[in-house]
Amino acid sequence: GQQLNQSPQSMFIQEGEDVSMNCTSSSIFNTWLWYKQDPGEGPVLLIALYKAGELTSNGRLTAQFGITRKDSFLNISASIPSDVGIYFCAGYDTGTASKLTFGTGTRLQVTL
Partner 1 sequence: DTEVTQTPKHLVMGMTNKKSLKCEQHMGHRAMYWYKQKAKKPPELMFVYSYEKLSINESVPSRFSPECPNSSLLNLHLHALQPEDSALYLCASSQVGADEAFFGQGTRLTVV
> Is the Cβ of residue 41 or residue 59 nearer to partner 1 in the bound state?
41
If one asks whether residue 85 binds partner 1 (CB under 8 A), the answer comes out as no
State the amino acid at position 98 in one-letter form.
Answer: S
Return the residue of 22, 23, 25, 31 that touches partner 1, per CB under 8 A: 31
Phi-psi region of 40 (alpha: psi -120 to 50; beta: other; left: phi over 0): left
Provide CB contacts within 8 A for 54, sequence distance 6+: 64, 65
Q: How far apart are the first and last CA of the chain?
A: 40
Q: Evaluate whether 25 touches 102 at the Cβ level (below 8 Å).
A: no
Nearer to partner 1, 94 or 111 (CB): 94
**Residue 99 near residue 1 (C-beta atoms within 8 A):** no
Contact region for partner 1 (CB under 8 A) — 16-24, 60-68, 75-83, 90-98? 90-98
Residue 44 touches partner 1, criterion: CB under 8 A: yes
For the bound state, the minimum distance from the C-beta of residue 16 to partner 1, rounded and expressed in Å, comes to 27
Instruction: Please identify, among the stretches 20-28, 64-72, 74-82, 102-110, the one whose residues bind partner 1 according to the rule CB under 8 A.
Output: 102-110
